[in-house]
């Protein structure tokens, strides 16, 4: 099974999107920050790492939004709701991304470039307040990993 992670990072009334660089499956499309969980890496750590690597943003997880099956072959994505902690949206020099920015609903609607459809649907739902998330359970005795129960 391949486990992917993604983040919807909020700052005020805007959500963070990254544009995939040339050579990637979503080249030229905007999406949420996402990537594969490395072996022996916790999904929440991978999510924050991918966000930082792809956008220059340091974020903090506020909750688990859900799980999305990506392929019948067993690919799955774990999606986290995050808040902006620090940093300015920047690409990683074309290695994976060539742009990063925060978008309001209005800015997203005015965007002339393609947005990956599932990511757009997800971000619109979050910006409209049409979502649920499970906050981390800090009193869970199984530490230091986060639990969402």
- Could you tell me if residue 105 is inside a domain? yes
Read off the CATH number of the domain in which 8 is found: 3.90.79.10
The answer on pLDDT for 52 being more than 70 is: yes
Domain extent, residue 16, equals 2-127
Cβ(3)–Cβ(35) under 8 Å? no
Count of domains forming the chain: 1
- Could you tell me if residue 133 is inside a domain? no
- Could you tell me if residue 106 is inside a domain? yes
Q: What is the pLDDT of residues 100-149, one digit of tens each?
A: 999 999 999 999 999 999 999 999 999 999 999 999 988 888 766 788 87
- Could you tell me if residue 142 is inside a domain? no
Rounded CA gap, 149 and 147, in Å?
Answer: 6
Rounded CA gap, 10 and 85, in Å?
Answer: 10
Output DSSP code: residue 8: E
């Amino acid at each position: 099974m391949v486990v992917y992670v993604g983040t919807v990072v909020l700052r005020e009334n805007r959500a963070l999107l990254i544009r995939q660089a040339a050579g990637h499956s979503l080249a030229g499309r905007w999406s949420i920050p996402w990537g594969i969980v490395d072996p022996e890496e916790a999904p929440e750590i991978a999510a924050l790492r991918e966000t930082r690597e792809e956008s220059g943003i340091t974020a903090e997880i506020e909750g688990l939004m859900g799980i999305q099956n990506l392929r019948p072959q067993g690919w799955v994505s774990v999606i986290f709701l995050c808040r902006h902690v620090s940093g300015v949206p920047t690409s990683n020099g074309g290695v994976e991304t060539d742009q990063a920015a925060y978008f309001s609903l209005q800015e997203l609607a005015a965007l002339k470039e393609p947005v990956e459809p599932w990511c757009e649907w997800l971000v619109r739902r979050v910006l409209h307040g049409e979502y649920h998330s499970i906050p981390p359970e800090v009193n869970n005795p199984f530490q230091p990993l986060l639990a969402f129960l």
